[in-house]
Amino acid sequence: MINSITLTNFKRHENLTINFGEGFTVLRGGNEQGKSTILLAIAYALFGTKALPDSLDDVVTWGCAVTTLRVDLEFTIDGVPYKIRRSKASCQLDYGVPAAGQTVTGQTEVTAFVARLLKVDAGAAARLTIANQSAIRGALEAGPKATTELIERLSEFNQIDNLIELMQEKLTLGSTATATAAIAAATDDLARAKELAVPVDAVAAEQRIQRAGVAYAGANTELDACELLERAAQEAHAQLREQAVRRDNLVRDVTRAQEAQRRAQQALDAIVVPEMPKDAQDKVEALERQIADVEQADRIALIFKKIQPYTVAPSGVVFEGTQAALTAEIKDCVATDQALRESIPTLRGELKLLNAQLTHGTCTFCGKDFSGVPEVAKRNAGILLEIAETENAISAALAEVNGSAEHLADLRAVDRAQREFLAVGAGAEGYVEIIGNHTLPHYAKWTGPEVGANIPVDDLKLQIKRLRDAATAHNTAVVRREEAVKLVKASEDQVEEAQAALNNCPEVPLSQAQTDLDGARDTTRAARAAVEEARKGLDAHTRALADQQAAYTRAVAEAVRNTERLEQLQQALVELEFNNALLKKVRACRPLLADKLWTLVLAASSSYFSDIRGVKSRVTKTSDGFMIDGHPVSSMSGSTLDALGLAIRVALVRTFLPSSPFLVLDEPSSAMDGDRTGNMLGFLSRAGFQQIILCSHDPLSESICNHLITLGK
């Protein structure tokens, strides 16, 4: 029995919970209030997405994410409570008491568990659970083909056809001629493989390998002896070659020493020593003394030229006193000038303050001038006197500043003139007499020698240069000749030493040593070729044995494979013959089984339809469609078609879902009158279902139901 269901974002129901009871439950509501949606949600909770006509993206509430869709269903079977929580992301089924209950998880796993629990096929149960009564009636009105296809789809009559298609897809079917030919070819391949599987004469092959190994070892021994002789010849040749190289180097040393001696003698012969000028040193010293006198006269003339402007008494301001007194007076004058300049802003501030103390203006009440009041006039007169005194003080200070500035400028002019005189006369000591020791600035009197015209010294210096160049050339040639003589003597010694070393290094018979070495190498190459030839023979015998064994192994393996392939082909032929026979039998059973199933469905439909119609009736099926008492259903009324559709629906459920504890119906009596609706309700109450959930607008259904659930307003 279904106990409750909760829909979250499932079609129009964003959050809806309904509790069901045992017996007859009617869902009432206006159009598009979601009655059919509840039935669809029950099927989804039990059997998953295969029970939905659309995808979850089309089922979720408009504007909501598909991940928020969820259905919770609680039901009880044989006293055991079950609870399913199914959404797109997960599915879980809990059953039993909470403390000792068990859990099943997974979309497919939960659907399979429910199918086993209800003892039904999940696919058939899903289709029969959500089949709409209007769909069955529409198929009845559409004709025999549509009706047959609908009912066979609901009841899975087409399983035999699916089985035949699956057999054709998965099983090997067809003619046996190809398989028979393949068996004959495999038999021939097996015979050829057995002919090739000849065992190898391993003893004879091992003897050949042993003889080849002995020959290979002997060749290696001969090669070792030849390589030992070759190394001895090579060492002797290397020693002789080292001596030959040493003698060649000594020959080259003698040749290079002789060439160096020849070049040294040529260099000595090319050196010419020029003659030394007579009395050159005395002449140079006399010319240098004359140049010194001329240069001293030039220095005195330069001093005279610099001091000449300071040899007359100064025409400007003079200062009576020393340089220290002048410096002190300049300092005092600067301080006085600064004090006077600082007092002027103070006096001007006092003057501004006095002007502010004067009283001016008229009375705001009587209009009388304040300045005419005796007390005010007396006070203003005193202030005016102080103003005049302050202005005189400012004028006097300004005059003193101007005078101080002029005096300071004169003192600084005297100081500059004195400093210039001292700077010019710093190098004239001994040539001038200082005049005016008690006044500043001083002036001078020239006491040095008479200054005449400058005497040029370039000719004197040129004569000195020529004399010195001639002496340097003579001395340099003498030194070069002495060095060349030493070099010639050294080269003669080198030639003697090189020739002596060459005489002590005799010639060596290198050609004979080379001949001996070439012969030893040829012998070694021949021995190495013999070793290689012996190794190839050993490898050839070893490979031959390995190849023969591998060929035998391959032949045996090929025989085994051909035997297995022959057995497989023979088994495949047996399976092919069996599959062909099985398919033939299944195809022969199809119409027989379909007739038996239709006989059961039509017998149950006739019984149920008679109860609903209130008249004993017989439902049959021909190639022209369903017949009622021999008349085609196309001639029947809408209520009759509704009654027949309900009878067929219940017959299918009872035939294919015999263990289903509940029945879900959607508007089964939309075209029925009151009497036939009463018959239908009576039939449903006797149908043996523990729980019936019915969507209906019919007042009679609402009046006799055990539970009434109203949706919407």
Q: What is the DSSP string of 582-630?
A: HHHHHHHHHHHHHHHHHHHHHHHHHHHHHHHHTS---EEEETTEEEETT
User: Which of 61-65, 570-574, 707-711 bottoms out in mean pLDDT, i.e. has the lowest?
Assistant: 570-574
pLDDT attached to residue 203: 80
Helix axes 510-613, 202-270, angle to 10 degrees: 130
HEC letters along 47-76: HHHHHCCCCHHHHECCCCCHHHCEEEEEEE
pLDDT attached to residue 77: 87
pLDDT attached to residue 87: 95
Q: Is residue 20 part of a domain?
A: yes
pLDDT attached to residue 119: 74
Q: Is residue 611 part of a domain?
A: no
- The answer to whether 694 and 668 are in contact (CB under 8 A) is yes
Judged against a pLDDT cut of 90, whether residue 651 lies above it is answered with no
Q: Is residue 211 part of a domain?
A: no
Q: What is the mean pLDDT of residues 441-463?
A: 74
Of 388, 414, 440, at which residue does a domain stop? 440
Q: Give the C-alpha separation, 567 to 590, whole Å.
A: 34
Which helix (H) or strand (E) is 645 found in, with range?
Answer: helix 638-656
User: Which of 212-226, 294-308, 364-378 bottoms out in mean pLDDT, i.e. has the lowest?
Assistant: 364-378
* Residue 548: partners with Cβ closer than 8 Å, 6 or more residues away: 200, 205
Q: Is residue 554 part of a domain?
A: no
Distances (CA, A) of 169 to 158, 178, 583, 588: 16, 19, 12, 19
Across all residues in the chain, what is the average pLDDT? 81
User: Which of 49-58, 527-536, 669-678 bottoms out in mean pLDDT, i.e. has the lowest?
Assistant: 669-678
* Residue 322: partners with Cβ closer than 8 Å, 6 or more residues away: 440
Judged against a pLDDT cut of 70, whether residue 688 lies above it is answered with yes
Q: Give the C-alpha separation, 419 to 330, whole Å.
A: 15
In the chain, the N- to C-terminal Cα span, in Å, equals 27
| Residue 696, Cβ density class (10 Å: 0-12 exposed, 13-18 middle, ≥19 buried) | buried
42 vs 587, higher pLDDT? 42
- Hey, which of 6-10, 475-479, 553-557 has the most confident mean pLDDT? 6-10
Q: Which of 118, 90, 85, 84 is nearest to 106 (CA)?
A: 90
Judged against a pLDDT cut of 60, whether residue 144 lies above it is answered with no
Q: Is residue 664 part of a domain?
A: yes
Confidence of residue 93 (pLDDT cuts 50, 70, 90): very high
Q: Is residue 527 part of a domain?
A: no
Confidence of residue 92 (pLDDT cuts 50, 70, 90): very high
Give the percent of the chain with pLDDT over 90.
10
Q: Which residues of 447-477 are buried (b: 16+ CB within 10 A; e: fewer)?
A: eeeebeeeeebeebeeebeebeeebeebeee
Distances (CA, A) of 407 to 110, 413, 414, 484: 124, 10, 11, 85
Q: Give the C-alpha separation, 673 to 687, whole Å.
A: 21
Q: What is the mean pLDDT of residues 275-297?
A: 73
pLDDT attached to residue 155: 56
Confidence of residue 64 (pLDDT cuts 50, 70, 90): very high
pLDDT attached to residue 52: 87
Judged against a pLDDT cut of 60, whether residue 76 lies above it is answered with yes
Strands 23-28, 70-77: pairing is unpaired
**What does the block give as tokens for 168?**
């054709």
Q: Is residue 396 part of a domain?
A: yes
**What does the block give as tokens for 706?**
């055990």
Judged against a pLDDT cut of 80, whether residue 321 lies above it is answered with yes
- The answer to whether 49 and 75 are in contact (CB under 8 A) is no
Angle among Cα 470, 475, 476 to the nearest 5 degrees reads 95
Query: pLDDT (tens digit, 9 = 90+) per residue, 602-619?
Result: 888 888 888 888 888 898
Number of domains in the chain: 2
Query: In the chain, how many H helices and how many E strands?
Result: 17, 17
Name the one residue in this structure whose structure tokens are 């796993």. 109
Judged against a pLDDT cut of 60, whether residue 348 lies above it is answered with yes
Q: Which residues of 556-586 are buried (b: 16+ CB within 10 A; e: fewer)?
A: eebbeebeebbeebbebbeebeebbeebeee
Strands 619-622, 625-628: pairing is antiparallel
- The answer to whether 86 and 48 are in contact (CB under 8 A) is yes
Angle among Cα 534, 547, 551 to the nearest 5 degrees reads 165
Confidence of residue 391 (pLDDT cuts 50, 70, 90): confident
Which helix (H) or strand (E) is 709 found in, with range?
Answer: strand 707-710
**What does the block give as tokens for 666?**
């959607």
Of 417, 440, 463, at which residue does a domain stop? 440
Q: What is the mean pLDDT of residues 351-361?
A: 79
CATH number of the domain residue 52 falls in: 3.40.50.300
pLDDT attached to residue 60: 93
Q: Give the C-alpha separation, 580 to 308, whole Å.
A: 151
Domain range enclosing 70: 2-143+657-673+680-710
| Length of the chain measured in residues | 713
Kindly report the pTM of this predicted structure: 0.42
Q: What is the mean pLDDT of residues 310-322?
A: 81
Q: Give the C-alpha separation, 109 to 48, whole Å.
A: 10
What does the CA dihedral 420, 421, 426, 429 come to, rounded to 10 degrees?
Answer: 170
Of 423, 440, 457, at which residue does a domain stop? 440
Q: What is the mean pLDDT of residues 547-554?
A: 78
The beta strand positions in 109-186, using DSSP E, are none
Q: Give the C-alpha separation, 361 to 504, whole Å.
A: 142
Q: What is the mean pLDDT of residues 349-374?
A: 73
- The answer to whether 441 and 417 are in contact (CB under 8 A) is yes
Residue 120 amino acid letter? V
Confidence of residue 18 (pLDDT cuts 50, 70, 90): very high
Judged against a pLDDT cut of 60, whether residue 6 lies above it is answered with yes
Query: pLDDT (tens digit, 9 = 90+) per residue, 19-58?
Result: 998 888 888 887 788 888 988 899 899 999 988 888 999 9
Strands 707-710, 23-28: pairing is parallel
Q: Give the C-alpha separation, 557 to 578, whole Å.
A: 31
- The answer to whether 336 and 404 are in contact (CB under 8 A) is yes
pLDDT attached to residue 241: 84
Distances (CA, A) of 141 to 455, 598, 642, 645: 153, 19, 11, 11
Q: Is residue 511 part of a domain?
A: no
Query: pLDDT (tens digit, 9 = 90+) per residue, 181-229?
Result: 888 887 887 787 777 767 767 788 788 888 888 888 888 888 888 888 8
Q: Which residues of 408-417 are buried (b: 16+ CB within 10 A; e: fewer)?
A: beebeebbeb
Helix/strand/coil for 28: strand
Q: Give the C-alpha separation, 650 to 608, whole Å.
A: 8
Q: Which of 683, 669, 678, 661 is nearest to 129 (CA)?
A: 661
Confidence of residue 420 (pLDDT cuts 50, 70, 90): confident
Confidence of residue 361 (pLDDT cuts 50, 70, 90): low
Residue 281 amino acid letter? Q
DSSP-derived secondary structure letter, 427:
G
The beta strand positions in 358-448, using DSSP E, are 432-435, 439-440, 443-446
pLDDT attached to residue 138: 54
- The answer to whether 688 and 12 are in contact (CB under 8 A) is no
Judged against a pLDDT cut of 70, whether residue 462 lies above it is answered with yes
Q: Give the C-alpha separation, 683 to 460, whole Å.
A: 161
